[in-house]
Amino acid sequence: MNDIDLKDPVIQVLLVMILLILGVAYGGYNYLLSPAKAEVVKKQEELSKLQNDLDQVRAVANRLPMIQQELDKLNEKWEDVSARLPSKKQVARLIVQLTNTAVTRNVTIKEIRPAPVTSGGSAVVETHPFQIKATSTYHDLAEFFADVANFKRIVKVEKISIQPFKSNESDQNIQVDFTVNAFAFKEGMAPPGGSDSDGGEVDEFEDW
């Protein structure tokens, strides 16, 4: 094979044409193919993000039955608590119920003093304390406290102090001081409807 003569004008023209073709090809790649490749990468990233979002939605959808069950349980608990909490203006009925229960259990209430109402940081419920002084026997007092604990409404007996007591008129032999806390909805916070809603007429002597 003969050596290529780079001084040959024809060879020089061919070399120039080859270089031009290579330059055009390289420029075309950068101008056309490179942006297209970047667009493909961008679309792949978007597709990956959409896939992740879809996986998260599917995961939430799979948990919906469990979430609904938990919500139903919370609603049941709320309804139960709501049924056991009166409105603020109905707390006075507790005194009637306490007095009636005391009579049936041979507990003589000597004094009932309302204490300041507290909220305990709650935005919905407030506590109405009643300081009570009474006389009874240990057995009768225990039955009285058991009855109070079983009231339909939520009440709490605390700060119990017992001292000996003598009576010539009965078998009562102890004097007891204690506090009964009644829990009630704050003004305007009671749920609508039901026998204890502020808008309805309620039996003043309905059991707690």
pLDDT in tens, 134-180: 999 999 999 999 999 888 888 889 999 999 988 777 888 999 999 99
User: Tens digits of per-residue pLDDT, 12-62?
Assistant: 667 767 777 776 666 666 666 666 677 777 878 888 888 888 888 888 888
CATH number of 88-185: 3.30.70.60
Token look-up 């229960």 returns 101
Q: In what order do the strands lie in the sheet with 108-114?
A: 108-114, 125-136, 174-185, 155-164
Minimal CA–CA distance to 78: which of 116, 124, 147?
124
pTM: 0.55
In the chain, what are the domain boundaries?
1-83, 88-185
Alpha-carbon distance of 155 to 145, in angstroms, equals 11
* Per-state percent for the chain, helix, strand, coil, to nearest 5: 50, 20, 30
Which residues, in sequence order, are CB contacts of 6 under 8 Å at separation 6+?
12, 15
pLDDT at residue 197 is higher than 60: no
Minimal CA–CA distance to 130: which of 168, 169, 181, 186?
181
Is the Cβ–Cβ distance between 143 and 103 less than 8 Å? no
pLDDT at residue 118 is higher than 80: yes
pLDDT at residue 102 is higher than 70: yes
Nearest 5°: the CA angle 127, 129, 130 is: 155
Q: CA torsion angle for 138, 143, 148, 149 (degrees, to 10)? A: 100
Is the Cβ–Cβ distance between 100 and 109 less than 8 Å? no
